[in-house]
Structures are given as C-alpha cells and as structure tokens.
C-alpha cells in the first residue's frame, strides 16, 4: 500500500532495477512489444516510456543504441488518448498511437466470412 514501509522498499527496488531494464531495452536489436503497462504506472516509472520514445528508431545504421521500434500495448475501452490507469501515455502526436479495431482483434479480415463488425 502506498505510504507504507513495504511500499517504500518496493519502489526503491524498482528504482534500482530501472537502469538495468532501460539498458536492456535500449540494446535490443529487434522491435519490442511491451505488455502489461499498468506496472509502469503503478511503480511510477512511466517516464521510462518517454525516454524510450525519444531514442527508439533514431540510431545510425550499425549502432545498437536503441531498438528499431517499440510498441506499447495499452488496452482501452473508451475514446481518447492512450492512458494507463488514468495516466496519459507520453505521445507527441497522433502518429505515435492508433486504436486497433475490434474486427482486427477478432481476425475477422481473415475469417473468410466477409462480415466486419
């Protein structure tokens, strides 16, 4: 529970692990898909997404300073900008996010039924 001694110790542990996680993500040589983003918000490290956003895809050919792409899968029930537990995902423009239609999730475009929901 936030404010408790256990919570303080847990957040310290997360902060100690964060540089290692960040370095491993930045050294990836393939696109990355991050899932379960609620943990980033819960432990107050959504700033990591912003740092990665600014570095991904910007490295010169042959450099391994950042992965070529980073995808953050954020489930959303409502319209609006992407958010994790009410905390906005740090995007700069609408070119950095999209809503995946339910028909695509259900794979209806390949189902051969010809019916799109």
Q: Are 31 and 69 in contact (CB under 8 A)?
A: yes
Most confident of 4-8, 50-54, 55-59: 4-8
Query: Beta strand 70-72 with 32-34: parallel, antiparallel or unpaired?
Result: parallel
Identify the pLDDT of residue 63.
Answer: 61
Query: Which residue ranges make up each domain of the chain?
Result: 5-60+77-110
Tokens of 96: 């950095």
Segment (H or E) for 84: strand 83-84
Tokens of 37: 């983003």
Tens digit of each residue's pLDDT (9 = 90 or more) over 56-85: 877 655 566 788 888 888 887 767 788 888
Which residues have a Cβ under 8 Å from the Cβ of 40 and sit 6 or more positions away? 46, 48, 49, 84
């Amino acid at each position: 529970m936030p404010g408790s001694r256990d919570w303080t110790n847990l957040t310290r542990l997360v902060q100690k692990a964060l540089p290692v996680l960040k370095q491993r993500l930045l050294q990836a040589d393939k696109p990355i898909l991050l899932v379960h983003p609620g943990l980033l918000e819960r432990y107050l490290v959504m700033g990591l997404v912003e740092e990665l956003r600014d570095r991904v895809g910007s490295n010169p050919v042959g450099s391994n300073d950042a992965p070529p792409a980073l995808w953050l899968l954020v489930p959303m029930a409502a319209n609006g900008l992407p958010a994790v537990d009410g905390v906005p995902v740090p995007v700069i423009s609408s070119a950095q996010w999209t809503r995946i239609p339910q028909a695509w999730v259900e794979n209806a475009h390949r189902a051969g039924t010809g019916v799109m929901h």
